[in-house]
Amino acid sequence: MRLLLPLAAIATAVTLSACASSPLGRSQLTLYSDQELEKMGAASFSKYQEELPVVEGKEDAYVSCVANAVTAKVPTSYGITQWEVKVFKDESANAFALPGGHIGVNTGLLDIAENQDQLATVIGHEIAHVLARHANERVSTQSLTSAGLSLTQALAGLEGAGGDQIMGLLGMGAEYGVLKPFSRSHESEADLIGLDLMAEAGFDPRASVKLWANMNASGGGQPPVWMSTHPSDEQRMAALNERLETALPLYEQARASGEKPNCNRLR
């Protein structure tokens, strides 16, 4: 009987959380509140800043310009009124966005994203993971399948393997050797939501296809760290091209309305 009660509680939680859906209508398992995920995101971002140098000056201004233009199009209904943007000195082509409104871009990504539109593709994609609550899904699933992860541990601190696990689940694992790739469904959603978001901000969504081609071409056939958690294939390219039918009108409307970001490229 002692075993049945916890199982019944879990089943009830799963049933109730199944009512949640992503922005594209997919059913989701989200056992934690947005506030709990925001605490995890803030703690993870703080730890990242302790371990990698933060870059200021021209690179920071460029990335912030692109990120601010994209985040300005995030509906207020998501509850994030201000986004924190940081550039980190690291050669890996990595970027991430965390619950609570934290965006990190490594300098290595600026060697692959050739212009503001390509950088907006990456940033829009990462923000889309946050808007679709993909991190909540991953943490929720892991908490049901692994006794090694507990919310108490996550909120208490991020030291040790448990902390690396949380950071991996939030989308930062590549830096810590804990690769936790987003699922293919998560990736597809982030691609489509991110494409619309960047288009609404006045960035050319057609740049997304070239960005993924650059990612695939970098590293002599070996995808960079960022790509190892963001798989790309012909189906992804086809989906992006198909979505342009929706994104291009959004882009044209944004430009006609005066949304014309002019973020100066560094090199």
- For the chain, give the longest Cα–Cα distance: 66
- pLDDT, one tens digit for every residue, the chain (267 residues): 333 334 444 444 444 444 577 777 777 677 888 898 898 889 889 988 988 999 999 999 999 999 999 999 999 999 998 999 999 999 988 899 999 999 999 999 999 999 999 999 999 999 999 999 888 888 877 776 654 455 545 544 555 545 565 666 665 554 433 334 556 777 889 999 999 999 999 999 999 988 888 887 775 444 444 454 444 556 777 888 999 999 999 999 999 999 999 998 765
Contact criterion met (CB below 8 Å) for 226 and 95: yes
| Catalytic option among 38, 126, 189, 259 | 126
* Residues ≥6 apart with Cβ < 8 Å to 104: 45, 48, 85, 86, 87, 88, 94, 95, 96, 97, 98, 172
Written as six digits, the tokens of 33 are: 């509140």
| Beta bridge mates, 97 | 103
Nearest to 114 by CA among 187, 209, 202: 209
Would residue 126 show up in a list of annotated catalytic residues for this protein? yes
